[in-house]
Amino acid sequence: MKIPAILAMLAALSACAANPAVPASVSVAAPAATDVEIVRDDTGWQARFHFAEDAPIWAFERSALLRREETPWRPKSWEVATPGVSLVRIGDFDALVADTGTVPREVVIRFRPLAEDIIADYDPAIILSDGSLAIYGGHFNAFPMDSREAVAALREPKEYPTRIALTAAGAPLLFDGQRVTRAEAVGDRYVYVGDVALAPGDPVATILDPGLPGWISGQLRDFTPSVFRDFEAMLGAHKSSRPMVIASWAGSEFRGASTGGSVSPGLITMRLEGTQLLKETPGALHRMRWFIAHEAAHFWLGQTVGYATPDEAWITEGGADYLAMGAALRADAGFDVIDFLAKARSDCAAALAKGPLADARRRNDQRAYYACGSLFAAAVEAAGRPRGKGFADFVRTLIATDKDGKLTAQEWLTAARKFGVSSEQIARIETLRAGMPDAVPVIADLLGD
């Protein structure tokens, strides 16, 4: 053996001694989780944080602003009860900051549930006119940071394991489709505090504000379970347990009509207000049915199988719009499908003239995903029609064959080709996705004009 080879071998052995290999059976322990107990007692609501480690700052993952004031919402709702800790805004984040040293391992926050609109996030609470309410757990997730400068430099929140539980002095709760007195593993979901009448066969728990105009309550009570049954018959089972739908009434001070809301894991929320909703009109009825149908569709196309990145939101938003169109038509044969598709055409073409579909969210043009995605769904529907198949059958296939619940655009296109969409149509979809100054002729070809 040559001397250089001996030296190399000795060096390798020395390195092994200094940095011994970790046996395959030894695993690195996951960080301990922060525990949060949300409780209601005689004094009101509290959140009791039990932090898993010492840190001078705990910043909150979800720190969106109030829509009207464009200011942080927590100061309107939260009060720090633990001495030596302050709630402050640092850059894009609300944070608990120690006056000196590190934040105590246990911190108590007293809070008043706040039912106000948050920009691009879930409202902290939903409060109905009878005093019942739902609280969103995701706003209590926090992560440790070493300095204010480090927080100010962040553009995205950090994830940190958090266990959230909620009790309300023995009051009945509805969580994950079940009646409980303590909600465990709340995570990024709402917990409803109040009693709910549930029949064993109900596909959804429909919670209606007693203050809603009577015609709205009647329509929602009938249409909501029927649309869920309709989708289940076409699409199969979704991965959630029994969903909740909570419809709240914000009053009639607003002179127009407003129907807003959102969908989160296991829940659809609606917030209705305005003098124009005091009496039933065809337009208001269509908007309400459309909203419920679109958000219900997300339990299959969105939550059971969704997109891989937000740039591909057309997969779920456009698909949900197309499924909602079908549900609206089945509920009312007078629903104007021609107008729906015409608006999708014009909105999609206008969006693509500004650039690629994937960049729409960066241009603050979220409508592009709905409009263009619904046209792509219409092309799939047309391809299946000769075989008696439709877009719902395509979605059912996506759910059955998807492996991780996150579809890429290419996976969607591959599935569309297998479903029967021609290579020419796939090429047109790809051309449209890339953006173009005048998309009208290509859209016309896609829809078979």
Tell me the residue range of the domain where 71 lies. 34-115+138-187
Q: Would you state the pLDDT for residue 30?
A: 55
Whether 264 is in a domain gets the answer: yes
Same domain, 212 and 290: yes
Q: Could you tell me whether strands 34-41 and 162-167 are parallel, antiparallel, or unpaired per DSSP bridges? A: parallel
Tokens of residue 389, six digits: 């198949």
Same domain, 44 and 88: yes
Q: pLDDT tens digits, residue range 397-430? A: 999 998 888 999 999 999 999 999 999 999 999 9
Q: Could you tell me whether strands 34-41 and 125-127 are parallel, antiparallel, or unpaired per DSSP bridges? A: unpaired
Rounded to whole angstroms, how far apart are CA atoms 439 and 446? 10
Q: What is the mean pLDDT of the segment spanning 133-141?
A: 97
Tell which of 297, 322, 337 closes a domain: 297
Whether 323 is in a domain gets the answer: yes
Same domain, 179 and 68: yes
Whether 193 is in a domain gets the answer: no
Same domain, 366 and 423: yes
Residue 328 sits in a domain whose CATH number is: 1.10.390
- For 204-214, letters b (16+ CB in 10 Å) and e give bbbbbbeebbe
Same domain, 276 and 371: no
Same domain, 230 and 363: no
E runs forming strands in 53-187: 57-60, 78-80, 85-90, 93-98, 106-111, 125-127, 133-136, 142-145, 162-167, 173-175, 178-180, 182-183
Same domain, 228 and 355: no
Residues shown for the chain:
449
Same domain, 43 and 156: yes
What rounded mean pLDDT belongs to the chain? 90
Sole residue written with tokens 């001397």: 3
Q: pLDDT tens digits, residue range 206-254? A: 999 999 999 999 999 999 999 999 999 999 999 888 899 999 998 898 8
Same domain, 79 and 161: yes
| pTM, 2 dp | 0.80
Q: pLDDT tens digits, residue range 178-214? A: 899 999 999 999 999 998 877 778 899 999 999 999 9
Same domain, 182 and 63: yes
Whether 12 is in a domain gets the answer: no
Same domain, 409 and 358: yes
Per-residue pLDDT for 20 more than 70? no
Same domain, 291 and 352: no
Whether 195 is in a domain gets the answer: no
